[in-house]
Protein backbone atom coordinates (compact mmCIF):
# COMPACT_ATOMS: atom_id res chain seq x y z
CA UNK A 1 0.00 0.00 0.00
CA UNK A 2 1.25 3.38 -0.90
CA UNK A 3 2.11 5.79 1.82
CA UNK A 4 -1.00 7.34 3.22
CA UNK A 5 -0.67 10.99 2.55
CA UNK A 6 -2.79 13.42 4.48
CA UNK A 7 -4.08 16.33 2.40
CA UNK A 8 -4.82 19.71 3.89
CA UNK A 9 -8.57 19.25 3.74
CA UNK A 10 -8.26 15.73 5.08
CA UNK A 11 -6.20 17.04 7.93
CA UNK A 12 -8.81 19.63 8.84
CA UNK A 13 -11.58 17.05 8.72
CA UNK A 14 -9.57 14.52 10.66
CA UNK A 15 -8.79 17.13 13.31
CA UNK A 16 -12.45 18.01 13.57
CA UNK A 17 -13.33 14.33 14.02
CA UNK A 18 -10.81 14.18 16.80
CA UNK A 19 -12.13 17.39 18.36
CA UNK A 20 -15.74 16.34 18.29
CA UNK A 21 -15.07 12.88 19.72
CA UNK A 22 -18.38 11.03 20.20
CA UNK A 23 -20.31 13.70 18.31
CA UNK A 24 -18.37 13.34 15.07
CA UNK A 25 -20.63 12.67 12.11
CA UNK A 26 -20.82 14.27 8.71
CA UNK A 27 -23.27 17.06 9.45
CA UNK A 28 -21.70 18.11 12.74
CA UNK A 29 -18.24 18.08 11.21
CA UNK A 30 -19.39 20.25 8.33
CA UNK A 31 -21.04 22.70 10.65
CA UNK A 32 -18.02 22.89 12.96
CA UNK A 33 -15.68 23.58 10.08
CA UNK A 34 -18.15 26.04 8.63
CA UNK A 35 -18.29 27.95 11.89
CA UNK A 36 -14.64 27.81 12.86
CA UNK A 37 -12.91 28.26 9.55
CA UNK A 38 -13.09 31.45 7.60
CA UNK A 39 -14.23 29.59 4.53
CA UNK A 40 -17.41 27.76 3.69
CA UNK A 41 -17.08 24.12 3.02
CA UNK A 42 -19.75 22.13 1.25
CA UNK A 43 -21.38 19.12 2.73
CA UNK A 44 -20.59 16.78 -0.16
CA UNK A 45 -16.94 17.73 0.09
CA UNK A 46 -16.83 16.71 3.72
CA UNK A 47 -18.72 13.56 2.87
CA UNK A 48 -16.26 12.48 0.21
CA UNK A 49 -13.31 13.46 2.39
CA UNK A 50 -14.60 11.29 5.20
CA UNK A 51 -14.98 8.40 2.79
CA UNK A 52 -11.48 8.88 1.56
CA UNK A 53 -10.18 8.99 5.11
CA UNK A 54 -12.01 5.80 5.87
CA UNK A 55 -10.54 4.15 2.81
CA UNK A 56 -7.11 5.18 3.90
CA UNK A 57 -7.85 3.77 7.32
CA UNK A 58 -7.57 7.01 9.25
CA UNK A 59 -11.09 6.90 10.58
CA UNK A 60 -13.48 4.11 11.34
CA UNK A 61 -17.20 4.43 11.52
CA UNK A 62 -20.22 2.81 12.99
CA UNK A 63 -23.87 3.60 12.82
CA UNK A 64 -25.11 5.56 15.79
CA UNK A 65 -28.35 6.64 17.41
CA UNK A 66 -31.16 8.28 15.56
CA UNK A 67 -32.49 11.63 16.73
CA UNK A 68 -35.65 13.55 15.98
CA UNK A 69 -33.78 16.38 14.27
CA UNK A 70 -32.72 14.02 11.53
CA UNK A 71 -36.17 12.71 10.87
CA UNK A 72 -35.48 9.56 12.88
CA UNK A 73 -32.52 8.51 10.75
CA UNK A 74 -29.33 6.95 12.00
CA UNK A 75 -26.04 8.80 11.84
CA UNK A 76 -22.64 7.44 10.92
CA UNK A 77 -20.30 8.25 13.77
CA UNK A 78 -16.61 8.55 13.01
CA UNK A 79 -13.71 7.89 15.31
CA UNK A 80 -10.04 8.46 14.62
CA UNK A 81 -8.16 5.17 14.27
CA UNK A 82 -4.66 4.56 15.56
CA UNK A 83 -3.36 5.16 12.08
CA UNK A 84 -5.20 8.40 12.01
CA UNK A 85 -3.80 9.44 15.32
CA UNK A 86 -0.33 8.67 14.11
CA UNK A 87 -0.87 10.61 10.94
CA UNK A 88 -2.12 13.64 12.82
CA UNK A 89 0.77 13.54 15.23
CA UNK A 90 3.23 13.14 12.41
CA UNK A 91 1.66 16.02 10.64
CA UNK A 92 1.85 18.19 13.68
CA UNK A 93 5.48 17.25 14.23
CA UNK A 94 6.45 18.13 10.73
CA UNK A 95 4.78 21.45 11.06
CA UNK A 96 6.28 22.33 14.41
CA UNK A 97 9.65 21.34 13.07
CA UNK A 98 9.20 23.79 10.28
CA UNK A 99 7.90 26.44 12.63
CA UNK A 100 10.94 25.94 14.78
CA UNK A 101 13.19 26.59 11.85
CA UNK A 102 11.82 30.06 11.31
CA UNK A 103 14.33 32.45 12.94
CA UNK A 104 12.91 34.14 16.02
CA UNK A 105 13.54 37.70 14.79
CA UNK A 106 11.46 36.94 11.71
CA UNK A 107 8.69 35.58 13.84
CA UNK A 108 8.85 38.70 15.93
CA UNK A 109 8.65 40.78 12.82
CA UNK A 110 5.48 38.91 11.85
CA UNK A 111 4.01 39.65 15.24
CA UNK A 112 3.40 36.01 15.94
Per CB under 8 A, 94 contacts another protein: no
Q: Segment 61-80, which members bind another protein (CB under 8 A)?
A: 63, 66, 68-71, 73-76
Per CB under 8 A, 58 contacts another protein: no
Residue from 7, 36, 37, 55 that binds another protein (CB under 8 A)? 55
CA separation, residue 6 to residues 32, 46, 69, 86, 104 (Å): 20, 14, 33, 11, 28
Q: Name the β-bridge partners of 80.
A: 59
> Cβ of residue 8: shortest distance to another protein, in angstroms?
19
d(CA 22, CA 17) in angstroms, rounded, equals 9
Residues of this chain that bind another protein (CB under 8 A): 25-28, 30-31, 34, 42-44, 47-48, 51, 54-55, 63, 66, 68-71, 73-76
Amino acid sequence: MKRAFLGELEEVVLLTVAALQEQAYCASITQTIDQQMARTISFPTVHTTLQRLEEKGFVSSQMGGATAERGGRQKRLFTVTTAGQRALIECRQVRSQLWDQIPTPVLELWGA
